[in-house]
Structure formats: structure tokens, C-alpha cells
Chains A and B, each alone.
Chain A
Amino acid sequence: MKQKLISLTVNRSLLIAVFAMLAMGACKSKKKVVEPTTVPAQTEQVSPTPAPTPAARSAEEMAVENLENAFNSVAGASNVTVANQSIQQALGMFSNQETPILIVIHEENGIKDYDEPTTIKNYLEYLKDTKKNLNYISDIRMDANGKVSELELRRK
């Protein structure tokens, strides 16, 4: 009887350990812009509330749209002066000129391969110099002032 009880406890401990490991592997900290986020199902509703307005999400979506346009403007600028004007406008959307830009070149089994991280200032100048916009915005982070504080891009 005592042996059975010990065996049951050990089994339960093993099960908990396995679940804990799985949970650790599934940890995520950033909000995806492109991929839809899963909303946990509501099990009980106290009173009918109006549909929540995802203000923060809308701000991110708007920022992504504006940034994509800005990147295209810089890459497609007819001359250096026009490109520099577009760069100045785009920089106004960021926390500062050193805002980090990560570029994912490949993702496999949840492991991301990055190009060398750069800053928004350098990235905008890169677009101006090479006249090519090879990446799209896959993730965005914004600060309390509504400015972009980090951007993740991916190859188109």
C-alpha cells in the first residue's frame, strides 16, 4: 500500500516536470503584428459589454502601415534630397535614431536566424543607398509615447 502511494506520487511529479518543460518552451514575450494572436475563450460573462476596441493594436497596425509607406518612399526616392526628407519624416516615428532593427533571414523550428542588427537611422540610409526594400515588418514594439522602440523585419 505504501509502495503504491510512493509510486503514485513519483508518477505525478514526473508528469508535472514534463508539463513544466513544455510550458517553458512555449514562452513568448513579443506581440506579433502579422500573425493573428489567439484570444483565450471566455467562459463566463457577467454583463454584456461593448466589443473591446483594441486601441494599442490599432496604433501598432497604423504604425506598420505608415512605416511600410515610409520605407517604400525612401527606397523609391528620385534623388538624395527627397530620400533625406523621407528619412527625417520616418525618424519622427521612432523613439530615437538608435532604435534597434532586427532582420530575420530564416526561421526554423522556432529558431530565428538574424542578419546583423542595425539601427533605424542606418536602415533608412541603407534603403536610400541600395534603393531596394527587401523586407516587411513582422513585429513592432512601441514605447509609452506611441513611438516605435523596436522593429523586426523579414525577407519578402
Chain B
Amino acid sequence: MKNKLILFLGLFLATSVGVFAQSDNISPARKQAIDSLALEKVKDLSKYISIIGSKETQFSEANRVMDRAEELFAPGAEMGVSSINSNDIAYYKVRRYFERLMALNYDRVNISWYDIQYISDLERQPDGRYVGVITIYQRFEGTSIETGMNYKDTTKKDITIYVEKKQTQIAGRTIEFWDVMLGDVRVTETSV
């Protein structure tokens, strides 16, 4: 009788430990889903930047998109800005960067991101967060019809990615989700 009770308790504990351990051990397929989620957020940012920069975007739409783009970033995150005419790299808080981008003195602005990929995989940190780095290439083209000025450059930028598991309440239920936050965007190369 005593042995059976011990066996039962043992089974119960083993099942419980297994369930809790699942939150720490991430299978390759699950990890890949999280990697893809973070990569998708960066691709979303590229769309938002293109909309904000475009002179065809209405002011109200650009402001709405700025809000959405800002939500992708961790508080205090900064964006690097460079130019082929200078060796300096300026860093702005992301909101300020978006506002400057929207106000650029060109008649036509075209911004596109390509070759978006991880250069440092998401790795679990002691605090439970996952941190990685995604690199992108940004092609910028600004045209001023009146002056005939046409500025073009290509910038390589590294974006720090933070992924953290969080909880929220939806219709009385607790939903656990992966919160992806973008950190600083550092300029690493600028060319014509």
C-alpha cells in the first residue's frame, strides 16, 4: 500500500516537472517560429519606414504608422543615421528619427530594405530573455525636382532584437505570448 502511494506520488511529480520544464526547453521547431516572428517584425518596420518616408503618404497616415513603428521598439531605443557626405553617424530616439524622416526636404523619397537576416542568433540570457542581432541593407533615394538634387546611398544596419515571454488577459483568460522588441539600430557601413 505504502509502495503504491509512493509510486503514485512519484508519477504525479514527474508529470508536473515535465510540464514546468517545457517552458524552459525550446524545441528547434519552436525556436524557429520565434526566430521567424522576430524577423517578421523587422520586415514590418521596413514597410513602416517606407510609408513614413514617402512623400505620397498623407500626414495623418504617416503619424498613425509612426505610432505603430514606435511600438516595435524597446523604450529609449535609438536609430543611427549616416551620409556618404560625412563620416559622422548621428543617433536619434526612434520617434525623433521618424519625424525627421517624414520631414526630409525632398519631393520624392524611396526607402527599401533588403537582405534582412540574422547575424547573431537569438540566444537565451540569464534573465530569460532572448537576444539576437538582425542585419539589414537600406537603400535610400531622395529626389528634389526643383534643384534636380538626387541623393542615393546604401546603409548596412544592425538591429538588436529582444524576445521575452509575457502574459496578458484576454476575455478573462491568461494568454502567454512572445513579445519581440527592437533595440538600437546601429549603422555599420555606408556606401553609394
Q: Point out residues on A near B: beta carbons under 8 Å.
A: 6-7, 10-11, 14, 17, 21, 80, 100, 102, 105-106, 108-109, 111, 113-117, 122, 125-126, 129-131, 134, 149-150, 155
Contacts and interface: CB of A to CB of B under 8 A. Distances in A.
Interface stretch (B33-41, B102-110, B150-158): B33-41
The 4 closest A-B pairs by CB, nearest first: A106-B33, A114-B177, A105-B33, A130-B47
Interface string B155-168: 00000000000101
Interface in B1-58: 1, 4-5, 8, 12, 15, 22, 27, 29-30, 33-34, 36-37, 40, 43-44, 47-48, 51, 58
A6 B4 CA distance: 13
Contacts of B180: 116
Given A113-B30, A129-B48, A150 B1 contact: no
23 contacts: A6-B1, A10-B5, A17-B8, A21-B12, A21-B15, A80-B61, A105-B33, A105-B37, A106-B29, A113-B30, A113-B177, A113-B178, A114-B178, A115-B177, A117-B168, A117-B177, A122-B68, A125-B64, A126-B44, A129-B47, A129-B51, A129-B65, A150-B170
Nearest to A104: B33
Given A80-B58, A115-B178, A129-B47, 15 more contacts: A14-B8, A21-B15, A102-B175, A105-B37, A108-B27, A113-B34, A114-B178, A115-B37, A116-B178, A117-B168, A117-B177, A129-B51, A129-B68, A150-B171, A155-B33
Contacts of A17: 8
B179 interface: yes
A131 to B, nearest CB: 7
B171 A105 contact: no
Contacts of A7: 1
A58 B144 CA distance: 56
A70 to B, nearest CB: 20
Interface residues of B, number: 35
